Structure formats: structure tokens, C-alpha cells
């Protein structure tokens, strides 16, 4: 939670009109926004009836003050107690290094919020602030999620912060209105709403309410603005890994044959034009060993680059493959799965230590959910950030069984040899680097025959 607090402090802004401190807000910038577009989310009641609004925030250790160029509201908010108490302020400011966060979709993520009820709110309380110090005026409220009202589009939460003076919480809270309400999900800050105020006239019971982030998305839709990415939303456009593919695959023997090169580029461009979210969603990641991205595996540049390479390869061996299907692919009716994992049982802290097939197989068999989803005699394409040794990049069924036997003998292993042998067995496990090397070598016209022969060799 400590890292989360430090990160969300960077998003906190103070709203002003001339010399009047209005309240707080939270910065947001989408990765796909124009460079000079920056947004502030706040409460509509904070800025209502004010003009010449400016915002202050900290960037690179310096306090920046920027004038608001446009104010957007849904038009539904008129007075205290109304729904849609949210406003979006647009700034003409270039912020290239902004670290994007996601915004929750409340109804889909209620269970996740209930499991992660700790909330953090960063703002600028009027009590105890120092006008000459932006940083020292910034403060944080620690709260606990309590409930959600769909009709009112509001969340309820309670204080867990002992720094608030119970005798006069109303005064302590003044200035926090408009602050972002953040939860920590998969080690990432996720905005769940905008702080509105106390529930009732007096906050002595510690009950607070905020407008859910869905209202922000609603305003964006009404006004035709960039839509904030949902916390569970998958970016199915792999264009961000085009440069990786061009430098890692196309800058090779493949480029020596003009026809091969042109064919691969044509397939690549076809894939980059499509939304391959179903393929991403069907890949297996976060099943084997915990990675830093956890359930947000689709944000990992390694995963995305490997998947792009694999999809080009699969398009070569079967141009009719559907990029919108939830199945990765098949080879002569043999199912192909893509599994990303850093393995289990190896020295994960030592980046110089190379992976082994035993690390991957140990991780593979440690997750029952993954095992149940794999069909017998399948082909598994293995992706990993760390590269395995050259002799640890592929195995057929016989070698797999030998490794599996050795893994069950590891002293700390909780694998039951009688159980794992009765489960689905892969026909082959192939590291993604082997696939990339096939692409790099060219001979596109014969790629399917080469791959089929490659699988047969592994069976010997």
C-alpha cells in the first residue's frame, strides 16, 4: 500500500479560482490522448458557479499551475444531493511521462472491491494547510469500502484513519471534495470514484460518500471525449509491439527474400488492423507463477510482443485462422495453446539465471485450473521474459514425462505423481523463441511443413 500512496499523490491537484481554494481533483491522461490533452476529474459542486479556474499539481518536484480551458458536466447536477456530481476539466498541457491508471466499472468489479476494501483519498484539506507549500498541504485519507447504491450511483465508505479529529470531522474534511478515491487491485491503483462529502449533515459517524467513476465515463461518452480504460478492459490492438516485431523478426534472413518479407508484412498489417482481444483473453497467463502484472498480464510488453509474433506465425501456417475466436489455433486438429510463465522452482530473483523446462512444467502442473483447460496431446507455446537455455526450449511427450517425474521428486513439491500422470499430457512444449527463429529463417511457403516436421522430431 505504501507504493500506491506515493503514486496517487502525484495525481492530486488543487483547484483554485483567483485566490480562492475550491477543493481537490485528480489528474488523468490516456496513453492514446493527444500529447497536449490532460484531464482533471473532480466533483461538480466544487467548481459550480466559478470562472477562471486553475489547477495546481506537482511534476518533477516542481509545482505547476495551469488554467482550465474547458469544463464538462453531464448537465444532471444542479444542487447538493443530485446525482452525477462529477466534472471533467480539460487542460492544454503536455505531460509525456504521465503514468496512466485504470478506472473501475463498479458493477462488474464489486466483488474485487469487496475483497480489496482499503481505499485511499488524496486531497488538500483547508484545515492545517500551508499556502506557501503545495507538498505539505497535501494529505491522505484512509478509508474502508462499505456499500454501493446503483440508483444514486454512489459508494459509501468509512474512516479508518486515526489522524482525523473525531470531535470536528466536518472541518477536517473541508477541501477534500473532488479528490480521487483509489483502491489497490493487483498492485495497481484503480480509480473507483470521486469524493463527494459526508453522508448526512454531520460526519461524526465516519460515513462518507463518493460518485462512482462510471459517471466520468458517461460524461466522456456524452461529450465525445476519450474514454477512460476500464480496470478489466483488454487492449486488443497490438500496434504497440510493431517496432519489436520489425526489429526482432524482420531484421533477419527473412528480409533477404523479398516475397517472404512482403508476405509477412502483409499478414502483420492485417493483424494490427484487428482487435485480437479474444486471443489475448484465451491465452494462459498468471496461472503458473505470480508475475508483476498479475491479472493485467495483457499490459506486459513481453506477452504482447510474443503473442504478436505467434499470431503472425499461425497466420502463415493457416491463413484462415480467425483472430476474433477465443481459440489460439490448431495444427491438423491438434489444439495449440499460448502460456506465459516465469516458471516455478527457479531463482526468480537472479535475472542472470536462465530458466529450465522443469521450472515451466512445475508451474504448469501446480495450477489445477490451467491443467483442466488443456486438452490431451496439445501443443503448448511457452512465453517468458527470461530466456531458457538452448537445450531447454522444447520437449516432446517422452521428455515431458521424464521432467514431470523429476519435478514430483523435488522435496518441497506438493505434486502427487499418480495424479499428474493421469492428467492431460501435452504432445509438445515449445518456447516462443523457437517460433520466432522459424519466422526469422524465412521459407514462408513451406512453414507449415517445417513446423509439422519439427513436431514429429520432438516425438522421437
Q: What is the pLDDT of residue 393?
A: 94
HSE-CB at 416 with a 13 A cutoff on CA atoms is 5
Q: What is the pLDDT of residue 232?
A: 58
Name the residue among 236, 247, 390, 377 with its Cα closest to residue 298.
236
Per-domain boundaries in the chain:
2-223, 238-458
pLDDT single digits (tens) 172-199: 678 889 999 999 887 788 899 999 988 7
DSSP code string of 185-249: ETTEEEEEEEEEEESSS--TT-EEEEEETHHHHHHHHHHTPPPPPBTT-----GGGGHHHHIIII
> Does pLDDT of 170 surpass 80?
no
Q: What is the pLDDT of residue 220?
A: 82
Residue-averaged pLDDT of the chain: 83
Residue bearing the bigger pLDDT, 163 or 69: 69
* Most confident region among 26-40, 97-111, 211-225, 299-313 by mean pLDDT: 299-313
- Is the pTM higher than 0.75? The answer reads no
- Give the percent of the chain with pLDDT over 90: 32
pLDDT single digits (tens) 387-411: 898 899 999 999 998 988 888 887 7
Which residues share a beta bridge with 148? 155
Q: What is the pLDDT of residue 260?
A: 87
For 34-45, what is the mean pLDDT? Answer: 82
Band (pLDDT 50/70/90 cuts) for residue 55 is very high
> Does pLDDT of 337 surpass 60?
yes
* Most confident region among 250-259, 285-294, 310-319 by mean pLDDT: 310-319
Q: What is the pLDDT of residue 89?
A: 93
E strands in 8-61: 12-17, 20-28, 37-42, 53-59
CA–CA dist 283, 314 (Å, integer): 14
Q: What is the pLDDT of residue 383?
A: 92
Q: What is the CATH topology of the domain spanning 2-223?
A: Thrombin, subunit H (2.40.10)
Amino acid at each position: 500500500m505504501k507504493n500506491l500512496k506515493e503514486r496517487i499523490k502525484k495525481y492530486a491537484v488543487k483547484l483554485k479560482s483567483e485566490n480562492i481554494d475550491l477543493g481537490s481533483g485528480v489528474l488523468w491522461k490516456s496513453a492514446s490522448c493527444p500529447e497536449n490533452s490532460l484531464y482533471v476529474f473532480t466533483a461538480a459542486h466544487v467548481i459550480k458557479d466559478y470562472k477562471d479556474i486553475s489547477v495546481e499539481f506537482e511534476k518533477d518536484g516542481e509545482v505547476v499551475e495551469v488554467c482550465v480551458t474547458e469544463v464538462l458536466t453531464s448537465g444532471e447536477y444542479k444542487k447538493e444531493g443530485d446525482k452525477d456530481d462529477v466534472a471533467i476539466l480539460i487542460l492544454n498541457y503536455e505531460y509525456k511521462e504521465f503514468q496512466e491508471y485504470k478506472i473501475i466499472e463498479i458493477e462488474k468489479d464489486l466483488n474485487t472491491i469487496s475483497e480489496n476494501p482499503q481505499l485511499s483519498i488524496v486531497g488538500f484539506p483547508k484545515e492545517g494547510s500551508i499556502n506557501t507549500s503545495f507538498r505539505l498541504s497535501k494529505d491522505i485519507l484512509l478509508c474502508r469500502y462499505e456499500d454501493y447504491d446503483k440508483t444514486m450511483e454512489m459508494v459509501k465508505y468509512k474512516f479508518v484513519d486515526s489522524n482525523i479529529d473525531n470531535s470536528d470531522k466536518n472541518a477536517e474534511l473541508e477541501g477534500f471534495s473532488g479528490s480521487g478515491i483509489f483502491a489497490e487491485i493487483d498492485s495497481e491503483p484503480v480509480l473507483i470514484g470521486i469524493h463527494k462529502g459526508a453522508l448526512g449533515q454531520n460526519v461524526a459517524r465516519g460515513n462518507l460518500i463518493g460518485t462512482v467513476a462510471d459517471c466520468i465515463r458517461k460524461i466522456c461518452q456524452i461529450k465525445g471525449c476519450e474514454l477512460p480504460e476500464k480496470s478489466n478492459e483488454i487492449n486488443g490492438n497490438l500496434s504497440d509491439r510493431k517496432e519489436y516485431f520489425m526489429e526482432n523478426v524482420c531484421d533477419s534472413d527473412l528480409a533477404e527474400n523479398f516475397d517472404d518479407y512482403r508476405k509477412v508484412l502483409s499478414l502483420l498489417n492485417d493483424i494490427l488492423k484487428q482487435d485480437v482481444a479474444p486471443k489475448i483473453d484465451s491465452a494462459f497467463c498468471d496461472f503458473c507463477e505470480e508475475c508483476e502484472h498479475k491479472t493485467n498480464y495483457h499490459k506486459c510488453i513481453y506477452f504482447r510482443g510474443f503473442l504478436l509474433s505467434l499470431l503472425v506465425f499461425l497466420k502463415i501456417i493457416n491463413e484462415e485462422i480467425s483472430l476474433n475466436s477465443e481459440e489460439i489455433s490448431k495444427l491438423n486438429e491438434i489444439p495449440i495453446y499460448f502460456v506465459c510463465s516465469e516458471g516455478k522452482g527457479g531463482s526468480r530473483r537472479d535475472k542472470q539465471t536462465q530458466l529450465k523446462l522443469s521450472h515451466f512444467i512445475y508451474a504448469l502442473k501446480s495450477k489445477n485450473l490451467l491443467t483442466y483447460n488443456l486438452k490431451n496431446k496439445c501443443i503448448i507455446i511457452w512465453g517468458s521474459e527470461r530466456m531458457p537455455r538452448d537445450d531447454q526450449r522444447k520437449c516432446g511427450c517422452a521428455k515431458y514425462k521424464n521432467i514431470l517425474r523429476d519435478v514430483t521428486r523435488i522435496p518441497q513439491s506438493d505434486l502427487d505423481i499418480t495424479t499428474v500422470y493421469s492428467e492431460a499430457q501435452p504432445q509438445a512444449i515449445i518456447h516462443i523463441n523457437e517460433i520466432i527463429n522459424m519466422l526469422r529463417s524465412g521459407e514462408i511457403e513451406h512453414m507449415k511443413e517445417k513446423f509439422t516436421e519439427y513436431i514429429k522430431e520432438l516425438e522421437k
